């Protein structure tokens, strides 16, 4: 039996793609091993969102070339595979398979080609209407399951490679999403995360014609499903009906990740984000008006070409105005194929570093204040595991906050259980508490 190892970089879409790829490989008779040294086939499922992410896979391939790469077959999957295509064979001649996510349906055939000695196997077509579904998906976590509802992206944000690496938008039918949810609920999963590059532009291709809010609500009404999350959303397609669904269905987590990227309407236009700051803030007001205390998180890019000090101040002002529960913040990174590549007025690296540091300090203060407001409150946590170093259980609230807690005198495994926890301490990035009996 052939052995394989897989390492995954990047987002949850990639993590879930790897679960499906693993299922496919197992069903083809391959055996999974935990280190690349033991494996005959080594897969890297890659990310190219920023230059640093892309470089990781080339470092890995380089390491192996020098050390123990002999006799192994290397495969590059995912976003770098799609972006670099056959150039990977030149950069790393020991790679034999290069395959983007839109071609994973063809993996079984590609494996046959590899087995028959073909050393240049590719799956790079983006011309597809299919999504990658497989009944063999090997999920990593027994309690929380990812479900892809839409693949690809039809937006053209000036900085972003995703439309080039994941192809055009394709939605799954609501019937297939619902039957997967039912199956997962029956198998004991209680939390579902709906995934897509742009989940809220979901459009049921079947005659039922559900929009995203309808799908979300129905997934949350499946018996046994206690929590539903979704990521990631684009403000342009974010309708009030999503908040209405959250208001009316407690199985839908009170957390929305709504990437803003910049607080300056001028930069948003240059980024081709298709909304202004005011339009974005309207969506924030819908969330703040909800009776459910919806946690709001975001992504920020600093140093987009042409970003002036005034634009940057507008982003800081937006952080203060929204008071996000947390953010991911990044320095703008120039990406191949994207339209921003051609823009003049690139911001110097030191200046990007300075702005990023300021954004992160500002946000840290906001999080310290926001989290302190939870002191004394009782939150329901889903237990994710146990931290031996601190003797604390690791919990997650519906708002997606980490709440680590003590539960003295019990040693059964609580992973996957839901417990009420009283918050006793608050830091910028997590809460600490004690289980309530
Ligand atoms: N440079 C920096 N950050 C980027 N992102 C996407 N493309 C780039 C880029 N070229 C960020 C955005 C997006 C998140 C997933 O990554 O903030 O929301
Ligand atoms: Fe990285 Fe984007 Fe590809 Fe996800 S979709 S792996 S974040 S480049």
**Model confidence over 384-428: pLDDT tens digits?**
999 999 999 999 999 999 999 998 776 789 999 999 999 999 999
**Average pLDDT of the segment spanning 245-265:** 98
pLDDT of residue 407: 87
| Model confidence pLDDT, tens digit, residues 290-317 | 999 999 999 999 999 999 999 999 999 9
**Average pLDDT of the segment spanning 26-47:** 96
**Average pLDDT of the segment spanning 104-130:** 95
Rg (CA), the chain: 22
What sign does the dihedral 255-258-261-267 (CA atoms) show?
Answer: negative
Three-class SS state of 176? helix
Pocket mutation for ligand 1, best pick of 256, 272, 299, 342 (most atoms within 8 Å of C-beta): 299
What residue's CA is closest to ligand 2, atom 2?
49
Q: Which residues contact 198 (CB under 8 A, 6 or more apart)?
A: 150, 153, 154, 155, 169, 232, 233, 234, 237
For domain 378-435, give the fold: OB fold (Dihydrolipoamide Acetyltransferase, E2P) (2.40.50)
Residue 346 Cα to ligand 1 midpoint, Å, equals 16
Closest ligand relative to 164 C-alpha: 2
CA–CA gap between residue 300 and residue 364 (Å, rounded): 14
pLDDT of residue 68: 62
Q: Quick one: what percent of the chain has pLDDT higher than 90?
A: 94
Ligand 2 atom with minimal separation from the 9 CA: 6
437 — pLDDT class (breaks 50, 70, 90):
confident
Q: Which alpha helices (H) appear in 187-301, and where do they start and end?
A: 212-219, 240-247, 265-270, 277-288
Q: Please report, for residues 152, 318, 324, 433, the alpha-carbon distance to residue 313 in angstroms, rounded to integers and kept in the order given.
A: 33, 9, 16, 36
Closest ligand relative to 17 C-alpha: 2
Residue 336 Cα to ligand 2 midpoint, Å, equals 14
The answer to whether the CB of 271 falls within 8 A of the CB of 280 is no
What CATH number was assigned to the domain covering residues 3-123?
Answer: 3.40.50.12160
Does 259 contact ligand 1 (Cβ within 6 A)?
yes
What residue spans define the domains of the chain?
3-123, 144-372, 378-435
pLDDT at 67 over 90: no
Pocket mutation for ligand 2, best pick of 17, 44, 51, 78 (most atoms within 8 Å of C-beta): 78
Closest ligand relative to 158 C-alpha: 1
Three-class SS state of 7? strand
pLDDT at 66 over 70: no
Mean pLDDT (the chain, rounded)? 96
pLDDT of residue 345: 94
- Return the CATH superfamily for domain 144-372: tm_1862 like domain (3.80.30.20)
Ligand 2 atom with minimal separation from the 11 CA: 4
Which pair of structure tokens corresponds to residue 242?
């999503």
């Amino acid at each position: 039996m052939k052995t394989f190892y897989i390492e995954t970089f990047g987002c949850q879409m990639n993590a879930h793609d790897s679960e499906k790829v693993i299922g496919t490989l197992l069903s083809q008779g391959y055996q999974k091993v935990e280190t690349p040294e033991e494996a005959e086939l080594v897969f890297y499922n890659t990310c190219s969102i920023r230059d640093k992410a892309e470089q990781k896979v080339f470092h890995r391939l380089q390491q192996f070339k020098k050390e123990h790469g002999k006799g192994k077959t290397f495969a590059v999957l995912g976003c770098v595979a799609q972006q670099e295509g056959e150039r990977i064979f030149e950069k790393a001649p020991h790679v034999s398979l290069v395959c983007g996510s839109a071609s994973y349906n063809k993996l079984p055939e590609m494996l046959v080609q590899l087995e028959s000695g073909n050393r240049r196997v590719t799956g790079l077509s983006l011309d597809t209407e299919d999504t990658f579904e497989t009944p063999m998906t090997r999920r990593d976590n027994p309690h929380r399951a990812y479900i892809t509802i839409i693949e690809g992206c039809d937006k053209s944000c000036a900085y972003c490679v995703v439309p080039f690496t994941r192809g055009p938008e394709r939605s799954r039918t609501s019937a297939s999403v619902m039957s997967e949810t039912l199956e997962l609920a029956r198998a004991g999963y209680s939390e579902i995360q709906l995934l897509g590059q742009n989940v809220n532009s979901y459009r049921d291709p079947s005659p039922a014609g559900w929009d995203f809010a309808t799908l979300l609500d129905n997934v949350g009404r499946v018996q046994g499903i206690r929590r539903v999350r979704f990521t990631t959303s684009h403000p342009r397609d974010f309708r009030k009906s999503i908040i209405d669904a959250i208001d009316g269905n407690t199985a839908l987590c009170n957390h929305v990740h709504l990437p803003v990227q910049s607080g300056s309407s001028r930069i948003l236009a240059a980024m081709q984000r298709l909304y202004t700051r005011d339009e974005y803030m309207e969506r924030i007001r819908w969330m703040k008006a909800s009776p459910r205390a919806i946690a709001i998180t975001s992504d920020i890019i600093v140093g987009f070409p042409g970003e002036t000090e005034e634009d940057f101040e507008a982003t800081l002002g937006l952080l203060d105005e929204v008071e996000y529960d947390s953010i991911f913040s990044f320095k703008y990174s120039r990406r191949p194929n994207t339209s921003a590549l051609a823009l003049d007025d690139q911001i110097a690296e030191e200046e990007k570093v300075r702005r990023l540091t300021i954004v992160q300090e500002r946000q840290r203060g906001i999080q310290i204040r926001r989290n302190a407001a939870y002191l004394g409150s009782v939150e329901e946590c889903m237990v994710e595991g146990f931290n031996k170093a601190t003797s604390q259980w690791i919990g997650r609230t519906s708002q997606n906050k980490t709440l680590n807690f003590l539960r003295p005198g019990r040693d059964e495994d609580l992973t996957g259980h839901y417990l009420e926890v009283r918050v006793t301490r608050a830091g910028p990035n997590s809460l600490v508490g004690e289980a309530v009996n």
